[in-house]
Amino acid sequence: ELHVAQSALSRLIKGLENELGCSLFDRRGRNLILNKNGQILLKYTQNIFNQFKDMKRELSYSNGRQQDVTITMMVKVASKFLPEIISGFNRLHPEARFVIIQNEALENMQQPWDICLDAGMELQEDKFSICVLKEEICLAMPRNHPLAARKSIRLEEVAGESFLGMQKGSSMNEIATFYCHKAGFEPHIVLTSDNPATLRGMLSLGLGIVFNPIITWKEVSEEEFSLVPIEGHACFRYIYLHLRPNGYTTPLVQDFKKYLINFFRTLAVQAKKYN
Q: Express each pLDDT in 188-206 by its tens digit.
A: 999 888 777 788 888 888 8
Output the pTM of the full model: 0.73
Work out the end-to-end distance of the chain between its first and last CA atoms, rounded to an integer number of angstroms. 58
pLDDT in tens, 116-163: 999 988 888 888 899 999 999 999 998 889 999 999 999 999 999 999
For position 184, what pLDDT does the model report? 93
158: which residues sit within 8 A by CB, 6+ positions away? 139, 147, 209
Q: Alpha-carbon distance 24 to 39, whole Å? A: 8
Residues 270-275 have a mean pLDDT of: 66
- Percentage of the chain exceeding pLDDT 90: 42
Closest to 72 in 3D by CA, of 109, 126, 119, 127: 109
Q: Sorting pLDDT into bands at 50, 70 and 90, what band is 219?
A: low
More confident residue, 274 or 64: 64
Q: Average pLDDT over the chain, rounded to whole? A: 86
For position 220, what pLDDT does the model report? 42
For position 153, what pLDDT does the model report? 93
Residue 200 neighbours by CB distance under 10 Å? 19
